[in-house]
């Protein structure tokens, strides 16, 4: 991978949130549209399917879930992703 192909942490947060939505459609036929209402669907997955996952995918799922929730926040309440110590972080939420 050359330097041009590298994603910033902020770009990775957005990409991972999109990947999470795609994975939920593929795996559970859930259409996640980055609205607050879509978080109810995510809650259903957490309550009904995450406890059964014991193949090491829980950490990846948790990270992607965090980015999805963060992206829902930026799209519904405002705010922005910033890079802080190489970690995507939300700032200026609601402002």
- Indicate if the pLDDT at residue 73 is higher than 90: yes
Q: What is the pLDDT of residue 1?
A: 47
* 32-61 per-position pLDDT tens digit: 999 999 999 999 988 887 655 566 677 788
- Indicate if the pLDDT at residue 29 is higher than 90: yes
Cα 8 to Cα 57, 92, 93, distances in angstroms = 23, 19, 20
Residues whose CB is less than 8 angstroms from the CB of residue 1 and which lie 6 or more positions away in sequence, other chains included = none
- Indicate if the pLDDT at residue 4 is higher than 70: no
- Indicate if the pLDDT at residue 30 is higher than 90: yes
- Give the chain's mean pLDDT: 85
Please provide the size of the chain in residues: 95
Please state, in angstroms and rounded to a whole number, the distance separating the CA atoms of residues 37 and 59.
Answer: 24
């Amino acid at each position: 991978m050359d330097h041009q192909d590298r994603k910033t942490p902020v770009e990775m947060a957005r990409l991972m949130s999109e990947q999470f939505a795609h994975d939920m459609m593929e795996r559970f036929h859930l259409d996640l549209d980055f609205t607050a209402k879509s978080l109810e669907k995510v809650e259903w997955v957490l309550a009904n399917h995450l406890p059964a996952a014991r193949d090491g995918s829980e950490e990846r799922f948790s990270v992607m879930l965090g980015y999805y929730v963060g992206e829902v926040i930026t799209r519904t309440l405002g705010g922005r992703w910033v890079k802080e110590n190489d970690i995507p972080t939300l700032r200026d939420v609601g402002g």
